[in-house]
Amino acid sequence: MASATQIELFLGPLTDPTTGGLCSGYTVYFYAAGGSTPKNVWTEPGMTNPFTSYALDSGGKALLYGSGLYKIVVKNTAGATVLSVDNVNILAY
């Protein structure tokens, strides 16, 4: 059975490029690459607890796992997009 791989983008503190502050409490949305179809990530490599969005902790971090190609969108607490990255390849093993 395949395992998901840790998403490195959220291991260190993520900062808001518009304010320079931590992305504390910001919500991250996960989509299939190139579109708007939600795509699962997980809180463990065994892929048993799926999420299509997840709130970053007070340090702007999250321990999440993924598998495949993603579009990742980070929105602040007011719902404004502060980061959007497409075609993020998270290789499963």
CA-based nearest residue to 83, from 13, 91, 75 = 75
Polymer length of the chain: 93
Summarised one tens digit per residue, pLDDT across range 39-87 is 999 999 999 999 999 999 999 999 999 999 999 999 999 999 999 999 9
Where exactly are the structural domains of the chain? 5-90
Take residue 56 and report the two structure tokens written for it. 């970053």
5-90 CATH: 2.170.14.10
Cα–Cα distance between 16 and 13 in angstroms, integer? 10
Summarised one tens digit per residue, pLDDT across range 2-22 is 789 999 999 889 999 999 999
pTM over 0.85: yes
